[in-house]
Amino acid sequence: MSKIIDGIKISKEIKAEIRKKISIATKKGFRSPSLKIVLVGGHGPSKIYVNAKLKACESVGIDAELISLSDNILQEELTELIKKLNKDNDVDGFIVQLPLPENISIQKVIENIDSSKDVDGFTNDNIGSITSKNKKLLPATGLGVMTLIKRYSIDVESKKCVVIGSSRNVGGAIAQMLVQREDVTVTVCNSKTKDLKSITIDADLIISAVGIPNLVTEDMVKDGVSIIDVGISRVKDSSKRSGFKIVGDVDFDSIYKKANLITPVPGGVGPMTIVSLLQNTLKVYCEKFKI
C-alpha cells in the first residue's frame, strides 16, 4: 500500500461530492453559491494560491470573484469593503488573502468580517467554536488536516500526536481540534521549542506547521510514524525554470522510508485547505437556503 497521503486525490473526491450537491441545488432553481476573494497587492505566492482557489471554485460550480486591491490601500478603505461584503446578501462567503501589507492590521481585518461569511474560519467566533459542541466555520487548514486523518483512517486513538506550530489560525487550531476528540495525547511545540527531537521521537503522528524547511529530520522520528506536513516554503532551486521549489517542514526523502504514512509537499495539505474553503462556502449556502 502506498505510504503517500494524497491530498490531490482526496480533494478531487470531495470536490466531486460538492459539485453534485451544487448541481442538485441549481437544478432546483437556487442560484449558485458565491464567494469573493480579496487580494491586496502583488504578493507572488498569494497570487498563485488565489488562482488555485478560483479554479477550484469554478470546477465545483461556486461563483467566485477576485477583488484585487492596490498595495497602498488604507485600513479604513479595506474595512469599508469588508462591511459592504458583510451586508451583500448575494455574497455567501468571502476571504481576505494573507499576508497583507505591513500598514494593514490583520487582526482588525478579521475582527470586521461577519463570522457567518468567514469561510476561512479565522474569526474569534469560528475559531472559538472548535471547543463548542456547535461547530461553526472551522479554520480551513485544520479542517483539511482532520479530513486527511479521517479519510486515511490514521489511528490516533490513545496515540501521541505532536503538533509543531502554535499559530492561532493553523497550528493552534489543529492542536485544539485534536484535543476535542478526547482520545488523543496532544503535545504542542513551536519554532522555539528546545530539544524538539526529544518530543518528536516518541510521536505516532507529527503535524508540522511552522514553515521552516527541513525542521523535521529522519533522526527525530520513530519507525512507523505518520507525518502531516503543513509547511509551505519557497527555496532556491536552480534546476527549476522558476528558480525555486516548494518544500514543507519535513525532510521527506529521508523520512519516507521510516514513515507509515506521509504527506508530500506540494500535493498534501495544500489542496485540502482549498477544498475546505469550498466545504465552508457550501455550508453557508446550504444553511442560508435550508438545502
Closer residue to ligand GUN, CB minimum distance, 96 or 225: 96
Pattern 76-115, ligand GUN, x by CB under 6 A? -------------------xxxx-----------------
Residue 200 and residue 221 in contact, taking contact as beta carbons nearer than 8 Å: yes
Catalytic annotation, pick one of 15, 36, 92, 97: 97
Distances (CA, A) of 5 to 155, 156, 235: 14, 15, 23
273 binds ligand GUN (CB under 6 A): yes
Least Å distance, CB 74 to ligand GUN, is: 20
Nearest to 58 by CA among 80, 85, 37: 37
Note if 120 is an active site residue.
yes
Is 108 a residue of the active site? no
Q: Is the dihedral of CA 5, 8, 13, 18 positive or negative?
A: positive
C-alpha separations of 175 from 25, 52, 188, 214, 263 in Å: 35, 26, 7, 21, 18
Residue closer to ligand GUN (CB basis): 126 or 200: 126
Catalytic, 183? Answer no
Phi and psi torsions of 93, nearest 5°: -150, 160
Q: Which of 14, 54, 29 is nearest to 282 (CA)?
A: 14
Which residues within the stretch 130-149 sit at the binding site for ligand GUN (CB under 6 A)?
Answer: 140-141
CB of 173 to ligand GUN, least distance (A): 11
Q: Which residue is nearest to ligand GUN (CB)?
A: 98
List C-alpha distances in Å: 264 to 28, 60, 261.
40, 24, 10
Smaller CB distance to ligand GUN: residue 40 or 205? 40
CB of 260 to ligand GUN, least distance (A): 27
Query: Which residues, 6 or more positions from 289, have their beta carbon under 8 angstroms from its beta carbon?
Result: 25, 30
Per-residue x/- marks for ligand GUN, 35-54, CB under 6 A?
--------------x-----
Write out the residues near ligand GUN by the rule CB under 6 A: 49, 95-98, 120, 140-141, 273
* Catalytic residue list: 53, 97, 120
